[in-house]
Amino acid sequence: MENPQEKFMKRAIRLSIENIEKGGGPFGAVIVKNGEIIAESANSVAIDNDPTAHAEINAIRIAAKKLQTFDLSGCEIYSSCEPCPMCLGAIYWAKIDKLYYGNTKSDADKIGFSDNFIYEEFEKNITQRNLKTEQILKNEAIEAFKKWEKYEDKIEY
């Protein structure tokens, strides 16, 4: 008998395979809560012309909308591939309890989906990164943080 983790991973993998014919990237993700799939998606970057439309991000958006919360504690995510830095960050922000993945980032690199340049950029001093970065209007920008700090009805996340 197939264990639940394998069943959910097989669904993520099937999504990744089926998505190729639809014009999307070979990535799929499934979010599970209490043993039930609550969200699933594939990569739709090229389909939607959205560089953030990775399978994990799409699935997180669907799950959050369905559960009507930004806190996905109690959920697990099954990704057909080890998540990129953006998706991994989103998984942490969503407070998902556990990540299962199939392919590794090295496997993805071998077929042209490399995240290495991002990891390398993170290691550099901000002034040495390829993305030219400049801080401006700090005194004006800090006003929002001051207001947030004093705001009594804020929703912490």
Which residues are catalytically annotated? Answer: 56
Alpha-carbon span 36 to 11, nearest angstrom: 12
Encoded tokens for 101: 């993945």
Strand partners, 77: 31, 99
> What 8-state DSSP symbol labels residue 80?
E
Neighbours of 9 (CB within 10 A): 19
Alpha carbon distance 13, 33 (integer Å): 19
Nearest to 80, CA basis, from 45, 43, 47:
43
Is the separation of the CB atoms in 12 and 42 below 8 Å? no
